[in-house]
Amino acid sequence: MILYLDSSGLVKLFLDEAHCALARLRFQEAEIAVTSRVAYVETMAAFGRRTREGGVDALLLEKLVSDLDRVWSDLFVLDIDEKIAGQLAIKHGLRGFDAVHVAAALRIRRIRPIADIQFLSFDSRQNAAAWSEGLILSTVG
């Protein structure tokens, strides 16, 4: 199975929060894990937000960044397909980077049309768009 992780799925690999066990299980089950280049920035921003809010101290932040960098080197990282993402943003009313993630997952499907590709996100609007575009949601079941 090819697992596409958006930043909400990626964050759950590192922070203990709701649904982190599911995200970690799907990641372990995946033969290949894929994400978009923007996921690194979004994940780092989430770590920073948690630090500002007091849930992550400086020592844990350093570990989170190190862990992300280690996992990042094992991910298949896609560049942005801005035209398709822009179309998806309009069609589904998505925020910019949410549309980028759906566009990237659709790109994998175009490259490997017969592969089992699952989309892992914990954003309901993004999941609805991914489902509408024919992607399999990894958060179901």
Calculate ∠ Cα 90-92-96, nearest 5°: 60
E strand intervals along the chain: 2-5, 32-36, 76-78, 117-120, 136-137
pLDDT of residue 112: 87
User: What phi and psi values does residue 134 have, to the nearest 5 degrees?
Assistant: 90, 10
* Residue 88: predicted pLDDT: 98
C-alpha separations of 109 from 99, 103, 134 in Å: 15, 10, 10
pLDDT tens readout for residues 17-36: 999 999 999 999 999 999 99
Residue 71: the pLDDT is 97
Q: What is the pLDDT along the chain (141 residues), one digit of tens a residue?
A: 999 999 999 999 999 999 999 999 999 999 999 999 999 999 999 999 999 999 999 999 999 999 999 999 999 999 989 999 999 999 999 999 999 999 999 999 888 888 889 999 999 999 999 999 999 999 864
**Residue type (1 letter), 50:** R
Residue 90: how many other CB atoms lie within 10 Å: 9
Write the CATH number for 35.
3.40.50.1010
Cα dihedral 31/126/46/106 (nearest 10): 40
> Which one-letter amino acid corresponds to residue 51?
T
Domain total of the chain: 1
- Give the per-residue pLDDT at 140: 64
Q: Which domain holds residue 111?
A: 2-137
